[in-house]
Amino acid sequence: MTDLLAHMKKIILIIATFLSIGYVMADNGKNAKILLDAQKQIYIDAHEVTVEDYLVYLNQLDKINKSFYNAALPDESVCEELYDTKNIFVPEYFDRPIIGLTLEQIKAYCLWRTDYNHSKKTSKKTTVDYSYQLPTLSQLQMAYEQSDKSRGKLLGPVDVTAKKITGIADNINEVTADGYIVVGASPYTLKTVPYRETTEVGFRCVMVPIQQ
Among 24-33, 154-163, 177-186, the least confident range: 24-33
Phi/psi for 132 (5° steps) reads: -90, 125
Longest Cα–Cα distance of the chain, Å, equals 49
Sheet holding 130-133, edge to edge: 33-37, 42-45, 206-209, 130-133
Torsion sign over Cα 120, 26, 21, 2: positive
pLDDT digits (tens, 9 = 90+) for 1-49: 555 555 555 555 444 444 443 333 334 456 889 999 999 999 999 999 9
pTM for the model stands at 0.84
Whole-number Å distance between alpha carbons of 4 and 129: 24
Distance CA 186, CA 203 (A): 20
Instruction: Report the pLDDT averaged over residues 78-97.
Output: 95
